[in-house]
Structure 1
Amino acid sequence: MTSTAPAAGAATSGATSTGTSTATSSSLSTTINPTFRAPTPRHSSFTLSTISLCGQPEDVLDLQRGSYALWRDRVEMKLAIYQVLDHVISDVANPADPEWLSLDFIIKGWIYDLITPELRTAVSSPGATARTIWVAIETLFRNNGLARAMMLSDEFRNTKQLENPLSVYIGKLKAISDEHRDLGYPLETHALLLQLVCGLHERHETIGKYIQTEAATLDLLRLRGGQALHG
C-alpha cells in the first residue's frame, strides 16, 4: 500500500516555501525599489504651534513699503513646505474638525506676525479664517495700487547711487520696478535705464556713457549681474 503522506508533506513544504519566497520577494522589492516613497504625514497643529515664520524685519509686510507680490510668494512657499497652503488658497473650510480649526488659528497667527499692526487692524474681523484674512490683504493692496504706484514713482525718481556699490543701486531700482509691475503699472525699459544713468555717481561716468550707447540691448538684470559691463 503506497503512502501519500510524503506527497502531502512535500506539497505543504512547497506551499510554505513558495509563500515564504513570495513574501521575501515582495519585501525585497519594496526595500530596493527606488521609486517607492512612503507617504509624508501632514504636520499636526501641535508641531506647527512651535514654529514661527517671521525671521527678519523684511519679512513683515507694510502697506507703505515693500513688495506685496514678493511677500505673498515667500509666505506661500513656507505654507507649502508645511503642507497647509490650502488654508489660504482654498475656499473650502472645515471648522467642525478640531484639527483643521487649530491649524487655521495657527496660520492666522503666522499671517498676523508677518504684517504690520496697521495692516492687522485693517484686515482682521470676528470669526475670520486664514483664507478670509489672506483675501483681505490682497484686496487692500489692489485697491491701494494707484496711490502706491504714485509713491513708488516719486521714490524711483529720487533714487541715487550715492556711495552704494553699483549692484546695490541697480537692485534698488529693480525692486521698485518689480513692484510697479506687480501693481499693474509697469515701467518702460528706457525709463529704467534713463533713471539709472541720471542717478549714477560721477565716478561711474564711463559706465553711464556706455549704457546710453547700448540702451537698446540692455536690461537691469544683465547690468546688475555685470555681464553687460564686463563682457
Structure 2
Amino acid sequence: MAFSPVHSDTSSSSGDEPAPPAPTFLLQTVNVGSYIPVLLDMDESNYGQWRCSFDSILGKFGLESHVHAPPPLDERDAELRMIDHCVVNWLHNTIATNVFNIIYKPQASAFMVRSDIEGVFRDNELQRAVYFEVEFRSLQQGDISMTQYTSRLKQLADSLRDVGQPVFESS
C-alpha cells in the first residue's frame, strides 16, 4: 500500500520550493522526545536550545508553515487539522508544566501555541537582560565544581544572547 504526502504537488524540480510535509500517519508515530533533547522550562533558561531543536524537527518534516502563520480557513481540511494537532502535541510534550500552565488554551492551533511560547520567553527582554547580566557578573564558583560553574556561565551567556544582549569573549 502506498502513502502519498499531504501536498502531492511536487511538479517543481528546481529545488526552490519547500518539500511537502511528511504524511500524517508518519507524524502520528513520531516520538518527539527523541528529537528534542531539552524540556523547555522557565527555570532552566533553555529557550534558545529548545527552539533550535524544535525548528529542526519542523524542518525535517516540512511543517514550518504550521507555526509561522495560521493556515487560511479554506485550507483547514481534516488532514491539515490532524497535522496541526500533531504539532500542538509535540509542543505540549516538549515544555515543562510551568510553561504549559502559562500558555495552555483549549483548541489552540500550533501557530497560537508557538506564538504564546515565544511571547513568554521574548516579552520583557530588557528586564530579563538586566537580571541575567547581574547574575552573570556576580556568579562565583564557591563550592560548586568547575564544570557546574562554567555550565552556569554558559547558560547565562546563552540567556543573554536570547534576549539580544550577547556576551563577548573578552567578557
**Is 2:41–2:96's contact at 8 Å kept on the other side of the alignment?**
yes
User: How much has 1:85 moved relative to structure 2?
Assistant: 1.6
| Amino acid corresponding to residue 78 of structure 1 in structure 2 | I
* Secondary structure in 1 matching 2:33: coil
**2:61 maps to 1:79:** no
**2:22 maps to 1:43:** yes
The verdict on how the C-alpha distance between 1:55 and 1:159 changes in structure 2, with shifts beyond 3 A counting, is farther
Greater length-normalized contact order (CA 8 Å, ≥ 6 residues apart): 2
Point out where structure 1 has 5 or more consecutive residues left out of the alignment: 1-34, 193-231
* Secondary structure in 1 matching 2:85: helix
Partner of 2:154: 174
Runs of 4+ in 1 over 6 A off after TM superposition: none
Aligned pairs for 1:137-176 within 5 A: 137-156=117-136, 157-160=138-141, 162-164=144-146, 169-170=149-150, 172-176=152-156
User: How much has 1:65 moved relative to structure 2?
Assistant: 2.1
Q: Which has the higher helix share?
A: 1
User: How much has 1:48 moved relative to structure 2?
Assistant: 1.0
The verdict on how the C-alpha distance between 1:71 and 1:113 changes in structure 2, with shifts beyond 3 A counting, is same
Structure 1 counterpart of 2:95, from 111, 115, 120: 115
Compute the RMSD of aligned alpha carbons. 3.1
Partner of 1:185: 165
| Amino acid corresponding to residue 156 of structure 2 in structure 1 | I
Partner of 1:207: none
When normalised by structure 2's length, the TM-score is 0.73
Partner of 1:104: 84
* Secondary structure in 2 matching 1:184: coil
User: How much has 1:164 moved relative to structure 2?
Assistant: 2.6
Point out where structure 2 has 5 or more consecutive residues left out of the alignment: 1-12
- Shifted more, 100-109 versus 146-155: the winner is 146-155
Structure 2 counterpart of 1:88, from 41, 63, 67: 67
Q: Deviations over 1:24-79 (max 9, x none)?
A: xxxxxxxxxxx999xx7642222111112124995111122223222111100111
The verdict on how the C-alpha distance between 1:126 and 1:57 changes in structure 2, with shifts beyond 3 A counting, is closer
Count the aligned residue pairs.
154
When normalised by structure 1's length, the TM-score is 0.56
**Is 1:159–1:173's contact at 8 Å kept on the other side of the alignment?**
no
* Secondary structure in 2 matching 1:83: coil
CA distance in 1, matches of 2:149, 2:65: 38
Look at both structures and tell me which one has the larger radius of gyration over its CA atoms. 1
CA distance in 2, matches of 1:145, 1:98: 38
Identity of paired residues, percent? 25
CA distance in 2, matches of 1:127, 1:172: 37
| Amino acid corresponding to residue 59 of structure 1 in structure 2 | V
**2:108 maps to 1:128:** yes
